[in-house]
Amino acid sequence: MATYNTSARKRILSFLKEHAQDQYTIEEIIQKMDGEHLPGKSTVYRQMDRLVRDGLVRRAVQGESRHFLYQFSGGEECETHLHLRCTDCGRLFHMEEEESREILQQIRSLRNFSVDQEKTVLLGRCDRCAKEKMKP
Ligand SMILES: [Zn+2]
Ligand SMILES: [Zn+2]
């Protein structure tokens, strides 16, 4: 039983890692992973809770709805760069470590202020949603 759950966890995590720029509801994950012999829905929910608690997956609420969206977080890797979140679609973007460092250094030298990189998420609108808005 334990090993069964562990491998479910691994498969869910590797699926999210492969699609690190996108986020999904649990239903979508189950749908997209169909054929990979996922355990029952309740197991997926339970595994997802653990992944969120372990900092490997981020959970966000989708707009006005009460749907939870899940996205790969990268855990410790993500402590080394800034993130951008689109407030329209909710996707999270991981910046390059070097880009982040440059921005933070600039703020530090201009304002004498050390930004907490881990806790800071810049909010805005992604490329895809900006284009969407341009449509008549
Ligand atoms: Zn990241
Ligand atoms: Zn967007």
- What is the pLDDT, as a whole number, of residue 4? 56
User: 103 burial class (0-12, 13-18, 19+ CB within 10 angstroms)?
Assistant: middle
Kindly list the structural domains of the chain, giving each domain's residue range(s) and its CATH number in brackets, ordered by start: 1-77 (1.10.10.10), 81-136 (3.30.1490.190)
* 68: phi then psi, degrees, rounded to nearest 5: -90, 140
Q: Tell me the per-residue pLDDT of 29-71, one tens digit each, with 9 for 90 and over.
A: 988 887 666 778 888 899 999 999 988 898 888 767 778 889 8
Q: In this structure, what is the dihedral angle of CA atoms 25, 30, 34, 37, given to the nearest 10 degrees? A: 150
pTM over cut 0.85:
no
Q: Which ligand places an atom closest to the C-alpha of 21?
A: 1
- What is the pLDDT, as a whole number, of residue 126? 93
- What is the pLDDT, as a whole number, of residue 130? 93
- What is the pLDDT, as a whole number, of residue 1? 45
Distance 6 CA to ligand 1 centre (A): 24
Distance 19 CA to ligand 1 centre (A): 13
Average pLDDT, the chain: 85
Distance 22 CA to ligand 2 centre (A): 10
Decide if 83 contacts 77 (C-beta within 8 A). Answer: no
**Where residue 127 falls among pLDDT bands split at 50, 70, 90?**
very high
